[in-house]
Chains A and B, each alone.
Chain A
């Protein structure tokens, strides 16, 4: 019981700095809406860009062939050398690139976006929620 009492005291003590952090920390997470990671963009925003966007699908070839965002190009790290030249054929400087992968938890879109930026391509954004978000929005409409 002594351990439980001590643990509760620690939990209570942590409430004070945590509360202050929630109120004044410069990097505190917002409560009202989800935070965007660096380079991420919401689907709602991307859709306002219209045809100025070049969609890049960072998933596997199998997933891409099953379904993808209309007009999107397949570009993943596994087949980068063969797919990147095809991407360059479609890309024009200044055109917004939006990379997506399967869901909000996948990292592949961030990795492909970073690789594109290393190759001097910009601006590059990552779609928050990925393909799942796109599909959900399409189903809702």
Chain B
């Protein structure tokens, strides 16, 4: 039953969405932390990351090589900037875009029946397949979405 003046907003009604500064910090910690970790793992060995990218059969080798040098640094900096007040939103925008692109690439590999590893964390984890990383990315996108809503 709703009472007069009660806030019916989804984000106020659900306990899961009722997150104050601590909740928001924890979400940034998970998102930013994962991106810093993923970036660092790949910065160490861009050649292997280029091979992982090539296995998606989406891009020619030269673009894979360039992306393997560039993407890990974008991940690392975006993850780090999520903790900086003056770059927080830009970092969240980049993280949301990257997660969307990575999820689409994984889904396309899954649809085409490619038996590949995600390559998301360099060679830190092996044999992750594509389904688990897609699910993980969807959870992370949900976190990013909640953070976006909190900014509005």
State the A residues within 8 Å of B (CB).
2-11, 13-15, 17-19, 21-22, 25, 27-31, 33-35, 37, 103-108
Contact = CB atoms under 8 A, between A and B. Distances in A.
Interface of B (DSSP majority class):
helix
Nearest to A106: B115
B73 A104 contact: no
Interface of B: 43-51, 54-57, 61-62, 64-66, 68-70, 73-74, 76-78, 81, 86-94, 97, 109, 114-117, 127
A10 B77 contact: yes
A11 B46 CA distance: 18
Given A29-B64, A105-B57, 17 more contacts: A3-B92, A6-B81, A7-B94, A10-B90, A10-B94, A11-B94, A14-B73, A14-B74, A27-B44, A27-B45, A29-B51, A31-B62, A35-B50, A37-B48, A104-B57, A105-B114, A108-B115
B46 A28 contact: yes
A28 B70 CA distance: 11
Contact of B90 (A3, A15, A34, A104): A3
A6 B89 contact: yes
Q: Is the interface of A mostly helix, strand, loop or mixed?
A: helix
B46 A14 contact: no
Nearest to A28: B46
Given A3-B92, A29-B47, A18 B70 contact: yes
Contacts of B49: 29
Contacts of B81: 6, 10
A6 B96 CA distance: 14
